[in-house]
């Protein structure tokens, strides 16, 4: 016996009846889409109610009947008899949001079932499992995260008020006072680029810790260092006990153990998910989607994109452009802030002034074009022994913000980065 897909006739009718009884209810369920309704009649009727509301057409039984007749859909929804009966199917207007949640949940379940069925069919037909895995992740994210969203002028006003009040829910505070004015927005790709040994990983690790301390879930994908290497570096930054001593038997003192114990207690419950290994582009996107579902991750750090295994079908610069385009799309779709670490070419070191610029990145395909924000790191002490250890974070590109230079302090002993210049 064939099983009906998940749906709730009762919840669908309750929503439609509530909107007919009190048309103001329509604006409270605009997060729903007509396709979220299982019954075709209910889809047509909901679409009509939304269209009438948006065109400021009076909504009542007579106007809805005329609207559907003009569209040629009156008989398809069951005529005026079905429309009039809907009012009897509303338990209470106060339950509208719960009815909408039920309909949305059932719709996502149907999407998942359809998606998994399609994946199953293609696997039986011999499609490559490695190619199907990210496709399945996309279906899962559609079914659990969401598909798309309308942005209205009312939404813009609400966001503006939030920004002006200092709340700024659409921005990600990375935890540094000097970077607050350059906070990236959720859904943006920020490229963090520098020459080797300037402080890319140190800044990424420190930002991930500070973001997590504020309660936001963080995903750290390390393609260059092992998971142990990143974890030991976190301990080193926090305690000053170098990783060389952490790895050598008999070199730890009681004081070291005390400091490490305190650091572990601080870090143990931080919402940071750390993965290391060899990643392809499809692996990166699949893990980000999975962690969005699992922990509602808000910030993702990828260290670094030059280590991503790419198919080598095109020149490397073109492949990196495809990679960053995909990461930008994933960030936007899932509304997560993605930080992609990137190594600059040697061009800057051939100049008298070693300070990097966007032109040093443009040779790396379309990275700069695909990024919403580009931060270039520079530390004078890398090139001059007598220079201090100020780390310049050059905001070279900000799609919807301001450019400038933020200055932080890099501790030469621990490698830890903190607010303020040396």
Question: Could you tell me the CATH number of the domain that includes residue 28?
Answer: 1.10.860.10
Strands 189-194 and 417-419: unpaired
Confidence band, pLDDT 50/70/90 cuts, at residue 15? very high
Cα 57 to Cα 359: distance, rounded to the nearest angstrom: 54
Residues 175 and 143 in one domain: no
Residue 164 lies in a domain: no
Domain boundary among 88, 119, 150: 150
| In-domain check, residue 162 | no
Q: Quick check: 337 and 300 in contact, CB under 8 A?
A: yes
DSSP type of residue 353: S
Q: How many CB atoms lie within 10 A of CB 372?
A: 21
Query: For residues 192 and 340, what is the distance between their CA atoms, to the nearest angstrom?
Result: 6
pTM here is: 0.65
- Residue 161, domain member (yes or no): no
- The whole-number pLDDT of residue 221 equals 93
Residues sharing a CB contact under 8 Å with residue 90, sequence separation 6 or more, in sequence order: 14, 17, 18, 21
Residues facing residue 376 across a β-bridge: 193, 394
My answer on whether 60 and 178 are in the same domain is no
Of 87, 118, 150, the residue at which a domain comes to its end is 150
CA 389 to CA 405: how far, in whole Å?
15
Q: Does residue 309 sit in the same domain as residue 241?
A: yes
Give, in order, the Cα–Cα distances in Å from 69 to each of 14, 62, 80, 259, 395.
Answer: 22, 11, 10, 76, 58
* 189-193, 259-263, 301-305: least confidently modelled range: 259-263
How many structural domains does the chain have?
Answer: 2
> Are 367 and 321 contacting, i.e. CB atoms less than 8 angstroms apart?
yes
**Domain boundaries, position 117:** 1-150
Are residues 212 and 93 located together in one domain of the fold? no
How much is the average pLDDT of 96-123? 86
Sign of the dihedral through C-alpha 131, 132, 133, 138:
positive
Cβ proximity of 358 and 373 under 8 Å: no
pLDDT of residue 204: 92
Q: Give the residue from 377, 374, 402, 382 showing the smallest Cα distance to 392.
A: 377
Distances (CA, A) of 343 to 211, 263, 340, 379: 23, 30, 10, 15
Q: pLDDT band for position 422 (50/70/90)?
A: very low
Q: Which structure tokens are listed for 356?
A: 């990097």
In a domain, 391, yes or no: yes
Judgement on whether residues 293 and 197 belong to the same structural domain of the protein: yes
Q: Are residues 228 and 118 in the same domain?
A: no
pLDDT at 349: 65
Give the chain's mean pLDDT: 82
Q: What is the mean pLDDT of residues 72-90?
A: 89
Task: Residue 295: count other Cβ atoms within 10 Å of its Cβ.
Answer: 15
Tens-digit pLDDT profile for residues 324-340: 888 998 898 888 999 99
Identify the domain boundary among 150, 181, 200: 150
Region class of 220: left (phi > 0), else alpha (psi between -120 and 50), else beta: beta
Same domain, 402 and 263: yes
Residue 309 carries which DSSP code? Answer: B
Task: Please write the tens of the pLDDT for every residue from 202-249.
Answer: 899 889 989 998 889 999 999 888 877 777 777 777 777 776 777 777
CATH (domain of 223)? 3.40.50.300
Residues 136 and 183 reside in one and the same domain: no
Which of the two residues, 114 and 412, has the higher pLDDT score?
114
Contact (Cβ atoms closer than 8 angstroms) between residue 304 and residue 200: yes
Q: Are residues 196 and 96 in the same domain?
A: no
- Residue 93 in this model has a pLDDT that exceeds 70: yes
Give the residue with greater pLDDT, 232 vs 71: 71
Rounded CA separation 136/237 (Å): 39
Tell me the pLDDT tens digit for each residue of 137-195: 666 655 555 555 555 666 666 666 665 666 655 788 888 888 888 889 889 999 999 88
In a domain, 7, yes or no: yes
Averaged over 405-414, what is the pLDDT? 82
- Who has greater pLDDT, 296 or 37? 37
Assess if residue 158 is contained within a domain. no
| Mean pLDDT of all residues in 242-265 | 75
Tell me, yes or no, whether 156 lies in a domain. no
231 and 278 part of one domain: yes
**Which helix (DSSP H) or strand (DSSP E) does residue 185 occupy?**
none
Same domain membership, residue 102 and residue 12: yes
For the segment 335-364, what is each residue's pLDDT rounded down to a tens digit? 899 999 998 877 766 676 778 888 777 556
Whether 291 and 219 have beta carbons less than 8 Å apart is answered as yes
- For residue 298, name the pLDDT band (cuts at 50, 70, 90): very high
Residues 382 and 239 in one domain: yes
Model confidence at 376: pLDDT above 90: yes
Which residues on neighbouring strands pair with residue 280, listed in sequence order?
309
Cα separation values, 260 from 206, 266, 267, 402, Å = 17, 10, 10, 40
* In a domain? residue 239: yes
């Amino acid at each position: 016996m064939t099983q009906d897909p998940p749906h709730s006739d009762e919840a669908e009718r309750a929503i439609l009846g509530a909107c007919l009884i009190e048309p103001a209810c329509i604006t409270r369920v605009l997060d729903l889409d007509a396709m979220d309704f299982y019954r075709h009649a209910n889809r047509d009727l909901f679409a009509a109610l939304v269209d009438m509301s948006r065109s400021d057409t009076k909504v009542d039984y007579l106007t809805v009947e005329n609207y559907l007749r003009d569209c040629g859909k009156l008989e398809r929804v069951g005529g005026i008899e079905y429309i009039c009966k809907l009012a009897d199917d509303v338990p209470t207007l106060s339950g509208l949001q719960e009815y909408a949640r039920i309909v949305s949940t059932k719709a996502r379940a149907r999407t998942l079932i359809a998606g998994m069925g399609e994946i199953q069919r293609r696997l039986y037909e011999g499609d490559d499992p490695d190619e199907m895995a990210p496709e399945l992740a996309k279906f899962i994210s559609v079914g659990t995260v969401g598909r798309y969203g309308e942005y209205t002028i009312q939404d813009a006003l609400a966001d503006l008020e939030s920004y002006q009040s200092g709340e700024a829910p659409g921005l990600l505070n990375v935890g540094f006072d000097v970077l607050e004015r350059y906070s990236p927005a959720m859904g943006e790709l920020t490229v963090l680029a520098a020459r080797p040994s300037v402080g890319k990983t140190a800044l990424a690790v420190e930002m991930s810790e500070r973001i997590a301390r504020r309660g936001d879930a963080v995903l750290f994908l390390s393609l260059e260092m092992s998971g142990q290497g990143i974890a030991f570096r976190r301990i080193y930054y926090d305690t000053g006990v170098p990783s060389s001593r952490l790895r050598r038997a008999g070199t730890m003192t009681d004081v070291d153990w005390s400091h490490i114990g305190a650091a572990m207690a601080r870090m143990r419950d931080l919402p940071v998910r750390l993965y290391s290994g060899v990643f392809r582009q499809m692996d990166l996107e699949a893990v980000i989607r999975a962690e969005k579902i699992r922990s509602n991750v808000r910030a993702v750090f990828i260290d670094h994109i030059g280590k991503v295994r790419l198919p080598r079908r095109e020149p490397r610069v073109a492949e990196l452009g495809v990679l960053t385009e995909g990461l930008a799309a994933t960030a936007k779709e899932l509304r997560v802030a993605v930080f992609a670490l990137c190594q600059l070419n040697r061009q800057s070191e051939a100049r008298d002034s070693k300070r990097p610029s966007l032109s040093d990145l443009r040779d790396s395909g379309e990275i700069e074009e695909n990024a919403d924000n580009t931060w270039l790191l520079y530390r004078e002490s890398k090139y001059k022994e007598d220079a201090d250890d100020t780390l310049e974070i050059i905001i070279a590109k900000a799609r919807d913000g301001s450019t400038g230079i933020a200055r932080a302090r890099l501790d030469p002993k621990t490698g830890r980065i903190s607010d303020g210049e040396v």
